[in-house]
């Protein structure tokens, strides 16, 4: 008998991790956070997520061939996000369902995500969102969104646009890189920087509006670009970046009552 019943019908195997606990105040998850494993060996990544010594886990692992393993029941708080925040919340593990996507990541040549793997991620996410209607599209996020100073995953190669076409996540077509408007960069100061910081914080990123384009701002802009304007990830708020951000704010889903 498996240690628990899978939450999704497309789960091919249960490999239980001990690294989970109760969600704070019993809250239901209202967020999905996508990661990559960042290890060269996929089995070693699964082993680490299921090792008590590692103190990390996720609810699901999606392999390159589309196989999906569940490690933690969705009702439990898996330890996947680490020190992180979004929209003022800091216990992202209590708020979220974590999905690890097998990919070596930026430290190991960062290969493209196979189509079969992305199809599995889409099917898995569609099931989660169907079961958990409280998860808004703008709360399907990257690990780099909630922990921009520490993480890059799943990175600029992850096809968020394809997920959006299947009804997963909040997405707009990125504004063209060829836009020739003004840009903000590290060292800049003033009202335009303050507005940029307020827009990023208003969307959910953990950023203080100081009016100075400091290192924290550069890091958050780069995280935003990885997810929403992946054509160039440089931490500089060019017109393409700010136009894309404004479009996301204007089309953001209305919060549930």
Is the separation of the CB atoms in 60 and 99 below 8 Å? yes
Calpha distance 82→203 (Å, rounded):
21
**240: CATH:** 1.10.101.10
Of 60, 7, 68, the residue nearest 34 (C-alpha): 60
* Inter-CA distances, 36 with 81, 110, 165, 216, 231, Å: 12, 10, 21, 23, 19
Instruction: Reduce the DSSP state of residue 113 to 3 states and report it.
Output: coil
Catalytic residue among 74, 100, 165, 257: 100
* Inter-CA distances, 55 with 18, 73, 101, 229, Å: 8, 16, 18, 33
Could you tell me if 200 and 257 lie in one domain? yes
Could you tell me if 148 and 59 lie in one domain? yes
CA of residue 61 relative to chain centroid, distance: 14
Of 122, 102, 99, the residue nearest 113 (C-alpha): 102
Question: Apex CA 98: angle with CA 41 and CA 52, to 5°?
Answer: 60
Is 257 among the residues known to form the active site? no
Could you tell me if 213 and 251 lie in one domain? yes
Domain boundary pick from 148, 165, 182: 165
**95: CATH:** 3.40.80.10
Could you tell me if 21 and 143 lie in one domain? yes
Could you tell me if 126 and 176 lie in one domain? no
pLDDT of the residue at 188: 97
pLDDT in tens, 94-150: 999 999 999 999 999 999 999 999 999 999 999 999 999 999 999 999 999 999 999
pLDDT of the residue at 1: 67
41: containing domain? 13-165
Calpha distance 127→122 (Å, rounded):
9
Question: Apex CA 167: angle with CA 165 and CA 173, to 5°?
Answer: 45
Helix 191-203, helix 215-228: angle, nearest 10? 50
pLDDT of the residue at 178: 83
Domain boundary pick from 121, 150, 165: 165
Of 232, 233, 226, 39, the residue nearest 143 (C-alpha): 226
**Which residues of the chain register pLDDT less than 70?**
1, 255-257
pLDDT in tens, 143-160: 999 999 999 999 999 999
Residue 111 token pair = 């290969």
Give the largest CA-CA distance in the chain: 62
């Amino acid at each position: 008998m498996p240690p628990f019943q899978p939450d999704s019908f497309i789960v091919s195997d249960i490999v239980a991790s001990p690294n989970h606990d109760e969600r704070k105040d019993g809250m239901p998850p209202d967020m999905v956070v996508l990661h990559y494993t960042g290890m060269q060996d996929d089995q070693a990544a699964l082993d680490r997520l299921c090792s008590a010594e590692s103190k990390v886990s996720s609810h699901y692992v999606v392999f390159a061939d589309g196989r999906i393993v569940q490690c933690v029941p969705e009702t439990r708080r898996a330890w996947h996000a680490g020190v992180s925040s979004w929209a003022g919340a800091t216990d992202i593990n209590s708020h979220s369902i974590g999905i690890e996507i097998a990919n070596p990541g930026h430290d190991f040549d960062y290969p493209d995500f196979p189509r079969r793997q992305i199809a599995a991620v889409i099917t898995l996410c569609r099931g989660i969102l169907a079961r958990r209607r409280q998860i808004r599209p703008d709360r399907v996020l990257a690990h780099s969104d909630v922990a921009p100073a520490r993480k890059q995953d799943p990175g600029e190669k992850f096809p968020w646009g394809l997920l959006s076409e299947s009804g997963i996540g909040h997405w707009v077509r990125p504004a063209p890189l060829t836009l020739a408007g003004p840009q903000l960069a590290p060292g800049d100061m003033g009202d335009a920087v303050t507005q940029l910081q307020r827009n990023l914080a208003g969307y959910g990123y953990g950023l203080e509006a100081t009016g100075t384009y400091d290192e924290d701002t550069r890091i958050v802009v780069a995280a935003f670009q990885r997810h929403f304007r992946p054509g160039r990830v440089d931490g500089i708020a060019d017109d393409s970046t700010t136009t894309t951000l404004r479009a996301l704010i204007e089309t953001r889903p209305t919060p549930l009552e």
